[in-house]
Copies of this chain bind each other. A is one copy, B any other.
Amino acid sequence: MEPAKQRKLSQGRKKINIERIENTGNRQVTFSKRRQGLFKKAGELTTLCGGEIAVITFSPGDKAYSFGNPSVEHVVESLLYPDNYTSPMQVRVGEDGLRRKEQQELDEFQRQLEAEKRRTKRSEQMKSGNKFWWEMPIESINNMGMEELEKMRGALKELKLNVDKKAEEKMMKESTSLKISLPDPTIRNIDDRASGE
């Protein structure tokens, strides 16, 4: 009744050495599978142990994948800005219930932005240089839609005012004991070339 069984359906998993897989197709498949496995484990780890985690990888094809709990950004910033420094991205909005809806729109938009940034292919070398969050890549501004641009514009204006104000306050307060001078000239130079004000 039974048809002759073909020898073995599979030889099962074989042992492999941990070294670069030369076959391109194979490499991609393996990356895909293992990335999934890795993300799954990462998720399990946080669920089981309650820590935070971020995993970021670039595929051989240079595409970015990431997994994060609570979010990649959160974890990365926790690493970059330890201490009680309140992370700009994570600032509390709490008591002002009014903003919640707006908030969600923004979050959604942020996801888009991030995604868009990631979508682009990155180039080989990253010159040294350190970037701060408030040095937003011009590129991502280019990618913004009108609506978002306007929102940002308004917020930025307000923010700038606050910063200017604080800067001056501190300047007054610390001017006596301040030794460094991250001097105005430097900054003005930059202003100059852009604004011509």
Contacts and interface: CB of A to CB of B under 8 A. Distances in A.
Contacts of A39: 193
A164 B101 CA distance: 25
A187 to B, nearest CB: 4
Nearest to A158: B194
Interface residues of A, number: 149
Given A64-B78, A66-B79, A92 B30 contact: no
A93 to B, nearest CB: 5
How many copies are assembled? 2
Contact of A189 (B43, B46, B102, B125): B102
Interface in A107-150: 107-112, 114-123, 125-147, 149-150
28 contacts: A19-B48, A32-B196, A32-B197, A34-B41, A34-B49, A52-B58, A63-B189, A64-B79, A66-B79, A77-B131, A80-B117, A83-B120, A83-B137, A83-B139, A85-B120, A85-B138, A86-B126, A102-B185, A102-B189, A103-B130, A107-B129, A114-B190, A119-B184, A132-B155, A147-B180, A149-B163, A151-B187, A158-B194
A114 B130 contact: yes
B31 A131 contact: no
A97 B49 CA distance: 48
A164 B196 CA distance: 14
Chain B CB count within 10 A is highest, among A50, A189, A196, for: A189
A181 interface: yes
Given A34-B41, A158-B194, 16 more contacts: A42-B57, A49-B60, A54-B57, A68-B191, A74-B126, A83-B121, A86-B140, A88-B136, A88-B190, A89-B132, A115-B184, A135-B158, A146-B182, A149-B167, A156-B160, A161-B194
Closest 9 CB pairs of A and B: A82-B122, A88-B133, A154-B187, A83-B120, A115-B187, A86-B140, A31-B49, A84-B123, A82-B120
